[in-house]
């Protein structure tokens, strides 16, 4: 690293020595500031107004991953998807454009129930309110539980024999079966 051309030999030598000293003293271990690690996680969180105080390590790293991209998506549905991903995984956002039962400027978030912690639900609702478009109104989070079914089969057989006299008889055999299935699907809304 030479800042001065080789005209003055002594100054050039001093420049080289100071250059090497500066290079060795000011090395940065983690040159990529926006990758969260143990040394810069809290700095990233504070810089981008991300609250990781009560988070477990995995969720804190997920929240601080790609903070500039997440902040650039404020006010978009993609921003909501990325903010909620560490809590619920993939979500589906229904708006008036893809569901006629929802009024314009309203939306719902559909998620799979992989977290039953009430703190996660409150946190998700808070993140939705931060990342949602300003004019839109969140109608809440809907959990779609998988359909459950119960199948039952009942079979019965009966035999009836009536003997009135030695010569008259009446025999009857009856077999019946009954199948029924109960299929239930439900949604839980918060």
pLDDT band at 168 (very low <50, low <70, confident <90, very high): low
pTM confidence score: 0.50
Q: pLDDT digits over 30-62, tens only?
A: 555 667 777 778 888 888 778 788 778 887 888
37: which residues sit within 8 A by CB, 6+ positions away?
Answer: 30
User: 92-133: per-residue pLDDT in tens?
Assistant: 899 888 888 889 999 998 887 765 566 778 888 888 888 888
DSSP string for residues in 65-79: SSHHHHHHTTTSHHH
Pick from 186, 111, 110: nearest CA to 149 = 186
Cα dihedral across residues 99, 100, 104, 109: positive or negative: negative
What is the distance of C-alpha 186 from the center of its chain? 20
Report the C-alpha gap between 128 and 118 in whole angstroms: 15
For 97, residues 6+ apart whose C-beta sits below 8 A from its C-beta are none
């Amino acid at each position: 690293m030479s800042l001065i051309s080789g005209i003055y030999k002594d100054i050039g030598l001093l420049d080289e020595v100071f250059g090497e000293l500066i290079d060795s003293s000011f090395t940065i271990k983690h040159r990529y500031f926006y990758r969260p690690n143990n040394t810069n996680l809290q700095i990233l969180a504070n810089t981008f107004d991300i609250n990781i105080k009560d988070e477990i390590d995995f969720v804190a790293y997920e929240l601080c991953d790609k903070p500039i991209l997440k902040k650039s998506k404020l006010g978009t549905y993609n921003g909501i998807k990325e903010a909620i991903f560490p809590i619920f995984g993939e979500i589906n956002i229904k708006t008036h454009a893809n569901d006629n039962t929802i009024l314009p400027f309203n939306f719902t978030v559909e998620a799979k129930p992989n977290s039953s912690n009430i703190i996660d639900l409150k946190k998700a609702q808070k993140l939705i309110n931060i990342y949602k478009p300003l004019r839109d109104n969140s109608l809440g989070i809907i959990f779609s539980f998988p359909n459950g079914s119960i199948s039952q089969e009942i079979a019965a057989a009966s035999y009836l024999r009536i003997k009135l006299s030695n010569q008259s008889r009446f025999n009857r055999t009856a077999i019946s079966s009954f199948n029924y299935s109960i299929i239930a699907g439900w949604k839980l809304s918060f």
